[in-house]
Amino acid sequence: MAVDKQVVDAEQLIVQHLDLWTSAQTAKSTAGRGSNNKIELTGIKKLRELILELAVRGKLVPQDPNDEPASELLKKIIDRREALVKRGDLKKNKQLLPVDESDRSFNIPLNWCWSRLGEIYDVRDGTHDTPKYVDSGYPLVTSKNLVCDQIDFENVNFISGEDHSKISERSSVAKGDVLMAMIGTIGNPVVVKTDRQFSIKNVALFKCISGIKLSGEFLLTFLKFATVHLKEQSAGGVQAFVSLNMLRNFPIALPPLEEQFRIADKVEELMALCDQLEQQSYQSIDAHNQLVDTLLQTLVDSANAGELASNWQRLSEHFDTLFTTEYSIDALKQTILQLAVMGKLVKQDPTDEPASELLKRIAKEKEALVKAGKIKKQKPLPPITDAEKPFELPNGWEWCRLDELSLGSEAGWSPQCENYPRESGKWGVLKVSAVTWGAYNETENKALPIHLEPKVEFEVKPFDFLISRANTAELVARAVVVPADAQSKLMLSDKIIRFRFTEHIAVNYVNLVNNSLLSRHYYAQVAGGTSSSMKNVSRIQIQHLLIPLPPQSEQLRILAKVNDVQVICQELLKKLEQFQNKQVEIASALAEQGMI
């Protein structure tokens, strides 16, 4: 067998740069100290794409001059098709276009040839209608049931034998056929590996012309490669979709029959390698995350300032190897918040007025405001038990509940709004997303219809503390402080609760506590809801949140120190993003090199 140097170079390109393929990754989220599903291994993704492209271009395995040329294979398929058409077993496809130069998008080996999917395969689809479902019967496979190269029979609806027979008259599925989603999430091709009878709906079916046994796994490889281009050409609407005519006319470079099977075997081998590399990468990421968590926990567990300084010194010696991922930097930020609320971030000043005196002054101020009729008298709060206190506070600090510090709270109003943001100067209602991501985002609003009068009592004001009462488990009870330069004429929705605080309290310190792990653990315990996709907390539960309260002056020192650390973390994230982008660029360049 002749060995193609390009094929050798392509395989070396994959093997010699495994470290780069596995190291190139893209962080997906900063919403919390999450898991691996927040990391996209971009290098391995590029490697998979490279393998598919090398395969369909004829650069993955060497050509064998003893193979029957693809042109002869194609002639047999066409002759067989014409015979079936004459017998009436197959309809003639009058919409099939001849292959022209614009279809030949890359050079192919000499014993390959260009064709169209509809010339090689009998391409059909299932029913477009929704049959009546029954408790048991024949499975009806739709796009959502094509998952990870397999058909998911666990989550299917069933149809009667009569409906199955009607659908099968149009598109009978058999073992060895290939299916592909035509609507919604286009792609996800699957080789049918079961003798089980089932019907399909809005799914493309590729059948070999009777008597010609092509490699289903090669077609699977080609359809995975072609998915990106099919999505680009798909029609829009409520859901993207590709038509049968588009699929039938899609150009394909056809290899000799024997080479199809060699390509399929090599793709399977290399994809298994990708799976192995991916697993190893995630295990390495997990180990790194656990190491970071363990070392950062030593800071939180430090018994005194001297031990904290010693633990920090040990950690800082390995700073450049520990804080190299988005997870680790986010973990550092969360640890800083936890140290802050525990009174371990800045030194205490014995000359500061104790927090106990601060609480007394706030109570007197609230009593005066109640007597003056400016605020409502608040309901008594439950006493704080020793069992509730998660850690010891420094001298001068006090445990209290959030409502002890507030002058009042209220939920907003959620009228039926327009599905677009308000125009400048007009009234709008804030969406929950305005207070979800750590900073007040006033552009996240819906316009108030012109026929409704605004409720000015719900207008958002500077320095309001806004907190969401309904969201996902990770985001429920996230809060922001409205900045001083916030725009007017924006109202609270009923899913946002506003707290106002006395001037003796730094509202940004309350927000810092609310974003700390201390508070996130509390909300995880008290939040209601039937699923993690929608949790809720009540205003009373928020009012009962424990606040470790430092003296007023120390609140400001803590905020200044946290701000300094946050700036450093943002610089780390920026450098990390630049480094990751460079890795992705190199991986992309290597992939392009493999195509030359």
pLDDT (mean) for 529-535: 80
Q: Which residue, of 255, 279, 296, is where some domain finishes?
A: 255
Residues 56 and 72 in one domain: no
Give the end of a domain, one of 255, 284, 299.
255
505 contact partners, CB below 8 Å, separation of at least 6: 362, 405, 552, 555
The verdict on 182 and 156 lying in the same domain is: yes
User: Measured in whole angstroms, how far is the alpha carbon of residue 430 from the centre of its chain?
Assistant: 24
Query: For position 518, what pLDDT does the model report?
Result: 93
| Mean pLDDT calculated for residue range 472-498 | 94
Alpha-carbon distance of 588 to 360, in angstroms, equals 63
Dist CA 583 CA 389 (whole Å): 46
Strands 187-191 and 490-491: unpaired
Residue 140 covered by a domain: yes
Q: How far is CA 404 from each of CA 358, 520, 521, rounded to the nearest angstrom? A: 11, 20, 21
- Assigned domain for 125 exists: yes
Q: Which residue has the higher pLDDT, 31 or 410?
A: 410
23 or 345, which is more confident: 345
| Strand 546-549 versus strand 26-27 pairing type | unpaired
Using the predicted structure, report yes or no on whether residue 35 has a pLDDT greater than 80: no
Do 194 and 76 reside in the same domain of the chain?
A: yes
Shared-domain flag, residues 16 and 142 = no
Distance CA 524, CA 535 (A): 9
Residue 590: per-residue pLDDT: 59
495 part of a folded domain: yes
Is 225 a member of any domain? yes
Q: Answer yes or no: is pLDDT of 42 > 90.
A: no
Highest mean pLDDT among 86-95, 169-178, 544-553: 544-553
pLDDT at 108: 92
Please report the pLDDT score of residue 34 as a whole number: 43
Distance of alpha carbon 336 from alpha carbon 347, whole angstroms: 14
Mean pLDDT of 134-158: 92
Does the pLDDT at position 150 exceed 50? yes
Same structural domain for residues 28 and 77?
no
Judgement on whether residues 538 and 571 belong to the same structural domain of the protein: no
CB of 573 within 8 A of CB of 326? yes
530, 559: one domain: no
Instruction: Round to whole Å and give the CA distance between 474 and 403.
Output: 23
Identity (one letter) of the amino acid at 175?
A: K
Domain holding 522: CATH number? 3.90.220.20
Segment 279-298, tens digit of pLDDT: 888 888 888 889 999 999 99
Contacts of 96 (CB under 8 A, 6+ apart): 116, 118, 119, 248, 249
- Using 50, 70 and 90 to split pLDDT, how confident is the model at 8? very low
Q: What percent of the chain has pLDDT over 70?
A: 90
Take residue 201 and report the two structure tokens written for it: 């709906």
Residue 83 lies in a domain: yes
**Residues, the chain:** 596
Share of the chain above pLDDT 90, in %: 62
Whether residue 358 contacts residue 530, with contact meaning beta carbons closer than 8 Å, is answered with: no
Would the pTM of this model clear 0.75, i.e. be above it? no
Mean pLDDT on 498-526: 94
Mean pLDDT of 9-19: 56
Reduced to 3 states, what is the DSSP secondary structure of residue 121? strand
413 within domain boundaries? yes
* Residue ranges making up the domain that contains 182: 68-255
The CA dihedral of 454, 458, 460, 464, to the nearest 10 degrees, is: 180
The H or E element spanning position 467 is strand 465-468
Q: What is the pLDDT of residue 284?
A: 85
Q: Within a domain: residue 358? A: no
My answer on whether 245 and 207 are in the same domain is yes
Decide if pLDDT at 14 tops 80: no
The CA distance from 98 to 117, in Å, is: 12
Q: Which helix (H) or strand (E) holds 304?
A: none
Does residue 218 share a domain with residue 319?
no
The answer to whether 255 and 217 are in contact (CB under 8 A) is no
* CA 390/CA 302 separation, integer angstroms: 15
> Does 367 map to a domain?
no
Q: Are residue 275 and residue 249 in the same domain, yes or no?
A: no
Whether 237 has a pLDDT exceeding 70, the answer reads: no
Q: What is the pLDDT of residue 234?
A: 76
Are 394 and 437 in a shared domain? yes
- Assess whether 14 and 150 both reside in one domain: no
Domain termination residue (choose one: 204, 234, 255): 255
Look at the chain and report how many structural domains it folds into: 3
Report how far residue 199's alpha carbon sits from residue 142's, in angstroms, rounded to the nearest whole number.
9
| Terminal-to-terminal C-alpha distance of the chain | 23
